[in-house]
Structure 1
Amino acid sequence: MSGNKHGKSGEDMELSWTSEELTLILKNGHLRKFPKNQIIFYAGAVCNEIYYINKGWVNIYSMTDEGKRVSVGLRSKGEFIGISEAFCRSPWQCFAQALAEVEVYAIELKNLYIILDKYPNILRKFLSLTAYRLQQANTTMLNYVCKQAPGRLAITLLNLAEKSSSKKNDKVKVSIKLTQEELAAIISTTRQSASRIINSFKKLGFIEMKGRQIQAIYPDKLRAKSVGEI
């Protein structure tokens, strides 16, 4: 198990796990596999474990009172999910859905708490990560309320780009192939609307397409779009 860095949308927050820390956390975990679109955990369900993504992409989302889905964050290999509820000892507040075939290590809370009691440095890292995720979620929810669908798609694509390791000059290759229907669900709009926005992004040079799927992203141009500069 290699160490992982939880980056951010800036340069002042970075959380790294050493291979020794990950081994301590995951050695009692159980590997589980989820096919594409399966729900990993449900809002309102009892939280009795956390998950470490070993493979694939997961969409963390909430539902509004009107029944609309709001994506809180996209998580990928090397990231933990379901951790805030573990510290609150409360039911899960969000849904987690596999966007592709996903493998996770499930760590029971009783085992996690033993590790945290014994290794305070790991506890501090989880608390830092939880606080950072809360800031991210608040910012995301505000953006989704204040921005129209094009801005929401720009933010979603920027999140994908930030998690990609395949970058050349100003272009980032997309490591997950999402359909227009899936992107529409993530940004809470119709497939037809998502299709129109994606086509406009292509014409503006924000993205590259192959067929109906996004192949590459130009983050600098999208970043300007997301803050309303163009």
Structure 2
Amino acid sequence: MLIRQAGSTVHYPRNHIIFAAGDLADRIFLIESGYVKIYRLSTDGRRVTVGSIRSPGELMGLAETLLGTERTCFAGAITDVSLVIVRKNKFEELLAVQPVLAIKVAKLLGARMREAEAIIHEMVCWQAPGRLALMLLKMGERCGRESASGIKIGLQLTHEELANMVGTSRQTVTSLLNTFKQEKSIAYEGREIKILDPDKLAKWIM
């Protein structure tokens, strides 16, 4: 892939901050392995997730790098990650000579704009149970491993991290996960969540 040829590979451990708000946006990142969350800090210091989890094969840091502005968000490694880093000038050179890549980037940015609009709609229109159920189903699609007994989400997320992703309190998330567990829509395997009944979980979104 052209991006890999133009960049250099780095490795970061779980919980490492890959970039922070206020950093100069002078590079883009291709995730080779692992998962990354994009978040902002609220006025009281809470980490508020402002986008879906970024998965292997995805680009991140695009919009601000192309604009040449400072970062407004943080990117934190949820797991150990491997990334290809490409400097802004090199990436722009690639876009100039590879129209197919430029079109892919434009489509990706468009899709993320729609995704952000959907998240705003969910926050305004749905209660916490529906937002958490939808988040679990999305993570099952993006990060899940299917088995005969269900879909295992391969991320060891704390209740605090889940609360930040759906805009509610840790106590509310703990209570809702217990409810989902009691109705047998989810189960725990160690610290990982397994979705046992996606249809039952989806009813919370209705």
The answer to whether the superposition gives a TM-score over 0.5 is: yes
Go from structure 1 to structure 2 and tell me whether the alpha carbon gap of 1:132 and 1:109 turns closer, same or farther (over 3 Å shift).
same
Structure 1 equivalent of residue 34 of structure 2: 56
Question: How big is the alpha-carbon RMSD for the aligned residues of Structure 1 and Structure 2?
Answer: 2.3
The percentage of counterpart residues that share the same residue type is 34
- Identify unmatched segments of 5+ residues in structure 1: 1-22
Which aligned runs of 4 or more in structure 1 are off by greater than 4 angstroms? 64-68
Q: Which amino acid aligns with 1:27?
A: Q
Aligned residue for 1:163, secondary structure, equals helix
Question: Which residue, out of 34, 54, 78, partners 1:99?
Answer: 78
Q: CA deviation at 1:138?
A: 2.0
Q: Which amino acid aligns with 2:90?
A: N
- Asked if the contact 1:56/1:99 (under 8 Å) is kept, the reply is yes
**Is 2:2 the counterpart of 1:30?**
no
Go from structure 1 to structure 2 and tell me whether the alpha carbon gap of 1:188 and 1:165 turns closer, same or farther (over 3 Å shift).
closer
Output aligned runs, 1:142-221, within 5 Å.
142-164=121-143, 166-168=145-147, 171-216=150-195, 218-221=197-200
Question: Which residue, out of 126, 131, 137, partners 2:110?
Answer: 131
Go from structure 1 to structure 2 and tell me whether the alpha carbon gap of 1:220 and 1:92 turns closer, same or farther (over 3 Å shift).
farther
- Identify unmatched segments of 5+ residues in structure 2: none
- Asked if the contact 1:207/1:216 (under 8 Å) is kept, the reply is yes
Aligned residue for 1:139, secondary structure, equals helix
With normalisation by structure 1, the TM-score equals: 0.79
Please identify, of 87-96 and 167-176, the stretch whose mean Cα deviation from structure 2 is larger. 167-176
Please identify, of 115-124 and 148-157, the stretch whose mean Cα deviation from structure 2 is larger. 148-157
Q: CA deviation at 1:156?
A: 1.7
Q: Which amino acid aligns with 1:155?
A: L
Go from structure 1 to structure 2 and tell me whether the alpha carbon gap of 1:75 and 1:147 turns closer, same or farther (over 3 Å shift).
same
**Is 2:52 the counterpart of 1:43?**
no
Go from structure 1 to structure 2 and tell me whether the alpha carbon gap of 1:78 and 1:168 turns closer, same or farther (over 3 Å shift).
same
Q: Over residues 165-191 of structure 1, what are the superposed CA-to-partner deviations in whole Å (9 max), with x where a residue is unaligned?
A: 633579322122223233233334333
Q: How many residues align?
A: 205
With normalisation by structure 2, the TM-score equals: 0.87
Taking the aligned partners of 2:118 and 2:45, their CA distance within structure 1 comes to 20
Question: Which residue, out of 115, 118, 140, partners 2:119?
Answer: 140
Q: CA deviation at 1:62?
A: 2.9
Output aligned runs, 1:81-96, within 5 Å.
81-96=60-75
- Asked if the contact 1:154/1:225 (under 8 Å) is kept, the reply is yes
Go from structure 1 to structure 2 and tell me whether the alpha carbon gap of 1:35 and 1:26 turns closer, same or farther (over 3 Å shift).
same
Q: CA deviation at 1:83?
A: 1.1
Taking the aligned partners of 2:193 and 2:181, their CA distance within structure 1 comes to 9
Q: CA deviation at 1:212?
A: 4.7
